A and B are shown apart, each in its own frame.
Chain A
Amino acid sequence: MAILLVLLLIFSYVSMNFNILNPANGAYQTINYANYTSGNFNVPGLYASVEVVMDNSGLAHIYAKNDHDLFLAQGYFMASNRLFQMEVQAMAASGNLSSWIGQSGIPSDQAIRLIGLPEQATMLMNSYEKNYPDYYNDVVAFSQGVNDFINASKVPLNFKLLGVQPFYWSPFYTLVWEEYMTWMLTTGAYEPLESALFFNTFGYENTTLIWPYYPYFTENITMVPGDGTVNGYNLTDQGISQQYLWSLNWYDQWATGINTTLLKNLTPLIKYAINNISDPLILPEPRFLENSIGSNSWIVTSNYSSSGYPMLANDPHLNLFAPSVWIPMQLSDPDFNVTGWALAGIPGILIGHTNRTAWGLTTPEGNSANEYLEILNGNKYLFDGSWHRMTILNYTLLGKTYSIYYTNNGPLIAKYENYGISLNWVASKPGYILIAELKLDQSQNYSDMLDALKYWSYPPQNFALVSLHSAGYITAGLYPLINETLPDGQHVQVIGSRSLLNGSMLEYQYSGYVPYKYLPQDKNPERGYMFAPNQPTVGKNYPFPFIGGFWASGGRAESINAFLKDHPGMSIENMIQLQSNLSDYWASMLKPYIINAIKGMYMNETEKTAFNYLQGWNATAYISSIGMTIYWYTLSEIYNLSINRILNFYGLGGIQEPFESTIIYILQHNQSSPWVNGNFTKLARESFSDAIGFLYSKLGSNVSSWFWGRVHRVEISSILGIPALSIGPIPFYGDDHTVSVGAVPFNIQIPEPNVTVSSSLREIAIPGNGTFLGVFPGGPSENVLSYYFSNQLPYWLDHKYYNMNKWTSEVNWTYE
């Protein structure tokens, strides 16, 4: 009997680990919710009934009779499909992840608290409630919808897997997630620090050679056509020569207030700061000059379009998750009729269209945050000649208390002895991007959209805009200005810095923001098109120079520009063709140098075959491309044997490698540069031999089987990082510089690391004739068992689209 009792105790104790496998009310219960069935739902708080129709693409059409019900129903629908995602995102964004996942969540929580997201969201929530109660009430209604679902439903699968319970939603969580997305898309948080590290290590000449203020070959492909003049205003009007301004050393003491010798001594502190604000959940390694998150968009004017109506295309590149951050839907009531993609957890539609307008977003890569060097004495900091006491904020995680110190510039993100680095980010003050979004959702013409974007504060975004007859761009958002005194005594207000600024000096404080009228913008350009895939937004004569402009290489911009230039009378088919374009512009420029370098070398049979493939390759990154594989591994080895070796030697391993465009520039001007080991021919030959030898050893002797999709794959990761809940890896096309992007680092490994950042949605819109196409890599549901978990994925992989205006009803619900 005693033995049986002991056995019973042991089995009962052990059985507690298997509750989730209870067939009746464990994980299997969620099978009941895998697919949708039409029906009625009791949703408390509605003023009237709401109809919800799920169409054949998985897009939900929500028809309400008033705004309150519309947002309440949107909250209910989102929660019914994405509750776990919303809540895990909210936990991460509010620095509370450790309360769910324990000690392993602490580093992420610390980074998020240090950046200040929870405090900013609280401040923003209070400000909305006080200053914009109507919009605040929309978020309250949305929250009620989420909580109605929590009250009415069983716990979704992922909560069971993690062993946690849902918490009630509130406007705070919507706003803190909004802040988190803002942070992810903010330029200037890391870049000046990383740029300072490079400058400290290699000096001014090398820094401007490797990281020029404007990436090579991009000066004539800016988003706003022309020299940088916006609404008739430019640098020349201020009596400042652009040639002079851009020839200056903006790392120098006159520009930053910091002696370059002192800056050099701050290298460990700068590295420490980068570590501290790098959320390990987003960035497994601290981020250095990384531009992997980019996006594409372009517009075509009515004169340049075959239909006679303006057109727009947009595909924002984000980390691909299963489920996606996006959820497609239509919101319809007497005030709204908007269709597109909402961010899970946030009311409204962020990217989409009304019947008369459409818009898309890309990131402009100009500083909306800057870092300041603080001079400290105990708990005091020096500012404008006197000492001030720092504000201290305490918070507790898993029973341990931590402190954040604030100067007038913002939180101290690193501190050592008498020096600290503070982060001055525009999001530390309330900004009402939700208002901008909801006003866009109601826009009826181009000027409505421009009016809406006056509320867009951060992160600055390139908004591609089209209405029935107009098309254009504006980079909306707050760009803080710094009033600089140039060495010749002239004054100019600039955006951002290349390095740390002196926080103790009044003259380097923000002096205001770029006026809305002079933000980068243009409408119906004469040449017939504009594009904004993260290249410089404006030319060098822009009246507020982007000193803190850390632009993408411009490879995608070059391809888009070339295509649009070659296709007057753009059709919808051309738009699709361009969005699926797999030409690597830099590869087309770099390949001849590599071919020239290696063509005279002794080659074995495998190398000869590989060389023939490379020579015949048209610089495209199709899954079936063999030349792409040979090019990529050769290029990777070129980087590894030269630039990466130099960076590693100086302790900057992991830093973003220079762009291919920089290599091309170097090869055009000096093939004996130390950056290509003093002899590019020798470097290219060695790299080619190494790459082919490696591919031979891993993929076999049959070169014709070395196709790109064999080594290059996409993975759509679960938000918990659990492979079993992820999608893929799937053979994938593209590379860093193809319009249809599939970025991977320069790694010599088989397969390459999975592509994790790509087009998070694809949108093509022609409001003039009512054409609205869209697709995204997922589905509305987060239930891994559901067809709607990934129903749009095959179309996305094949560059196909759903017609968002023509659909058939699949499921009907009534919320009442």
Chain B
Amino acid sequence: MNKIIYIALSIILAYIFIFMLPFAWSAIFAAIPLLLLKPKNSFIAGFLIGIIAPLSIYVIYPINYVLKLSNILGNIVGFPAFIILIIFPLIYGIIMAISAAIWSGLYDKVKK
């Protein structure tokens, strides 16, 4: 039960940071509640929360505009629209996964 609360807390923090701050490294702080999970689980949970939370935000916009803007941004930097759509969530997920693992590892060390 506690694990679910930690995960829920992390999800809430992830959304708050994504909405409040432009920086993907804010995922470091969104991962803090996951320190109570085992390192491997916290890594997986962090990655999933980190990638799904920003991805899910696209649904607040009309999908045709999301695709159009992704195409435009992709044309500017020379990447396919799909990469533009996925790159921020992916980086956010990776940072959150690594952070969660680090927080969890530190917690384990402190506990010992």
Contacts and interface: CB of A to CB of B under 8 A. Distances in A.
B52 to A, nearest CB: 12
Given A8-B28, A11-B95, A12-B25, A22 B88 contact: yes
A784 interface: yes
Interface string A129-149: 000000000000000000000
A724 B61 CA distance: 21
A27 B62 CA distance: 14
Contact of A21 (B19, B87, B102, B106): B87
A262 interface: no
Contact of B65 (A1, A11, A16, A34): A34
A105 interface: no
A21 B94 contact: no
Interface residues of chain B: helix, strand, loop or mixed (majority)? helix
A398 interface: no
Nearest to B75: A724
B66 A28 contact: yes
Interface string B40-58: 0000000000000011011
A14 interface: yes
Interface string A9-53: 001101110111111111110111010000000000000000000
Contacts of B76: 161, 722, 724-725
Given A1-B105, A12-B24, A24-B18, A31 B69 contact: yes
A785 interface: yes
B7 interface: no
B28 A12 contact: yes
B9 interface: no
Which among B24, B54, B68, B105 has the greatest number of chain A C-beta atoms within 10 A? B24
Interface in A694-747: 722-725
Interface in B1-60: 18-25, 28, 54-55, 57-58
A785 B69 contact: yes
Contact of A23 (B58, B68, B71, B105): B58
B19 A11 contact: no
Interface residues of A, number: 32
A22 B18 contact: yes
Given A23-B58, A31-B62, A784-B72, A11 B18 contact: no
Given A11-B95, A28-B61, A724-B76, A22 B102 contact: no
B70 to A, nearest CB: 9
B33 to A, nearest CB: 17
A778 B21 CA distance: 34
B95 to A, nearest CB: 5
A8 B69 contact: no
A587 to B, nearest CB: 37
A31 B19 CA distance: 15
A4 B101 contact: yes
A8 B91 contact: no
Given A19-B24, A24-B19, A26-B22, A8 B102 contact: yes
Given A12-B28, A31-B61, A725-B72, A18 B105 contact: no
Given A15-B25, A724-B76, A23 B95 contact: no
A7 interface: yes
A424 to B, nearest CB: 43
B73 A4 contact: no
Contacts of B57: 23-24, 28
Nearest to A16: B23
A283 interface: no
B97 to A, nearest CB: 10
A785 B68 contact: yes
B22 A11 contact: no
Contact of A31 (B66, B84, B87, B91): B66
Given A19-B22, A34-B65, A4 B102 contact: yes
B95 A8 contact: yes
Contacts of B87: 18, 21
Contacts of A722: 76
A785 B106 CA distance: 46
A26 B21 CA distance: 10
B102 to A, nearest CB: 5
Contact of A27 (B18, B73, B101): B73
A14 B91 CA distance: 9
Interface in B85-112: 87-89, 91-92, 94-95, 98-99, 101-102, 105-106
A135 B94 CA distance: 58
B98 to A, nearest CB: 5
Given A24-B54, A28-B69, A785-B65, A18 B102 contact: no
A12 B95 contact: yes
Nearest to B18: A24
B23 A23 contact: no
Contact of B73 (A5, A11, A21, A31): A21
Contacts of B61: 28, 31-32
A723 B75 contact: yes
A15 B98 contact: no
Nearest to A26: B22
Contacts of A23: 18, 54-55, 57-58, 88-89
Nearest to A3: B98
Contacts of B23: 15-16, 19, 22
Contacts of A27: 69, 73
Contacts of A8: 28, 95, 98-99, 102
B75 A22 contact: no
A25 B19 contact: yes
A27 B65 CA distance: 11
Contacts of B66: 28, 31
Contacts of A32: 61
Contact of B72 (A5, A7, A26, A724): A724
B35 to A, nearest CB: 13
Contacts of A25: 18-22
A637 B75 CA distance: 35
A179 B93 CA distance: 51
A784 B54 CA distance: 23
Interface string A161-179: 1000000000000000000
Given A4-B102, A8-B28, A15 B69 contact: no
A15 B68 CA distance: 23
Nearest to A12: B25
A462 B88 CA distance: 54
Contacts of A723: 75
Interface of A: 1, 4-5, 7-8, 11-12, 14-16, 18-28, 30-32, 34, 161, 722-725, 784-785
Given A8-B95, A19-B23, A20-B73, 8 more contacts: A11-B24, A12-B28, A15-B92, A19-B24, A22-B22, A24-B18, A161-B76, A724-B75
Among all A-B residue pairs, the 7 with the closest Cβ atoms: A724-B75, A15-B24, A12-B25, A23-B57, A21-B88, A19-B22, A31-B65
6 contacts: A15-B23, A18-B87, A23-B58, A28-B58, A28-B61, A724-B73
